[in-house]
């Protein structure tokens, strides 16, 4: 069987200039930005907590 029935589809333009698509993209960018900021704050908070915890335990060990 040397015959293939694969069809090549025409490429679609990836540029959409309609207002709805622009609005959706802007909303998606904002949501993504908010999610990244929340995640970053969470990571920084855990890092800060770990540093404070190690400082407390480090000073307790020195006092003993």
Q: What is the largest CA-CA distance in the chain?
A: 82
The CA distance from 51 to 57, in Å, is 10
pTM confidence score:
0.52
Token digits of residue 53? 């915890």
Residues 28-48 have pLDDT tens digits of: 999 999 999 999 999 999 988
Return the domain boundaries, the chain: 21-64
Residues 12-32 have pLDDT tens digits of: 777 777 999 999 999 999 999
């Amino acid at each position: 069987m040397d015959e293939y029935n694969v069809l090549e589809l025409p490429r679609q333009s990836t540029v959409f200039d309609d207002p709805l698509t622009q609005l959706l993209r802007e909303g998606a960018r904002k949501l993504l930005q908010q999610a990244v900021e929340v995640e970053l704050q969470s990571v920084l908070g855990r890092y800060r907590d770990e540093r404070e915890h190690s400082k407390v335990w480090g000073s307790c060990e020195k006092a003993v």
